[in-house]
Homo-oligomer: A and B are copies of this chain.
Amino acid sequence: MKNSRQNTAAQILESLTNDIIQGEYSPRQKLHIKTLKDRYNVGTSPLREALSQLIAKDLVISENQRGFYVSDISIEDLTDIYQARAKIESLCIEMAIEKGDDFWEANLIAASHRLNKYSKLDEIEMGEWQIRHAAFHEALVVGCMSPRLFQIRDSLFEKSTRYRNLWLRENVTNTAALKINQNEHAALLILALERDKKAAKKLIEAHIMTPVEIIKKSLSQL
């Protein structure tokens, strides 16, 4: 395993990022250097370099001489992140509708079909559903053609993951919520193909904000 293209710091960064956004470590949890070294079998330097990158990504905070902590979550932060996500997604879709070509349309229809078929199954495996769901939304915005806006979109999506998982726990069996979701996706597809920017923007913003109230409840029960 010596000839891996990534250095140790980059590898740990992946693991740590995942473990934090998937809730392996809780918000505000202390991240002891010693413990992490043992867990990931690495030395001090690459570990601290990975943590440094997580600081820049706002997933970890550090206090001088007091170590590293998983960054906190809160209702204010939840609202702000989802609001920002909604606006950015809306922006991307607007630009995609302006610039999207036949291939964008075709790809979007295909992604919609894949999500639809899977959503109608009796037994839905949440991992696969999330993949197809994310793929549909990406197909919508991919026409916007801005690397920076995509990067911002991705980073906000990543930050929202810890909150989204609270929603998924509530709705893994809630088929009614999934149904509404499905209808919204169908409407989004139509509006995009009709190039109705205004309506598409309005709908996507509402679509992204939908889970916020439910997550608020889960959060306040914590």
Give A residues with C-beta under 8 Å from B: 5-7, 9-10, 44-45, 48-50, 52-53, 55-57, 64-65, 80-81, 83-84, 87, 91, 95, 146-149, 152, 156
A92 vs chain B, min Cβ distance (A)? 9
A129 vs chain B, min Cβ distance (A)? 27
By a CB distance below 8 angstroms, the chain B residues around A91 are 87, 91
By a CB distance below 8 angstroms, the chain B residues around A50 are 52
Interface residue SS majority, chain A? helix
In the assembled complex, the Cα of A81 lies from the Cα of B44 at a distance in Å of: 36
A45 vs chain B, min Cβ distance (A)? 6
In the assembled complex, the Cα of A80 lies from the Cα of B53 at a distance in Å of: 24
29 contacts between A and B (CB under 8 A): A5-B64, A7-B64, A7-B65, A9-B52, A10-B64, A44-B45, A45-B45, A45-B48, A49-B52, A50-B52, A52-B52, A52-B53, A52-B56, A53-B53, A53-B55, A56-B56, A80-B147, A80-B148, A81-B148, A83-B146, A83-B148, A84-B146, A84-B148, A84-B149, A84-B152, A87-B95, A87-B149, A91-B91, A148-B156
By a CB distance below 8 angstroms, the chain B residues around A147 are 80
In the assembled complex, the Cα of A55 lies from the Cα of B57 at a distance in Å of: 11
Q: Tell which of B7, B49, B80, B146 touches A49, judged by Cβ atoms closer than 8 Å.
A: B49
By a CB distance below 8 angstroms, the chain B residues around A80 are 146-148
In the assembled complex, the Cα of A7 lies from the Cα of B80 at a distance in Å of: 30
A16 vs chain B, min Cβ distance (A)? 12
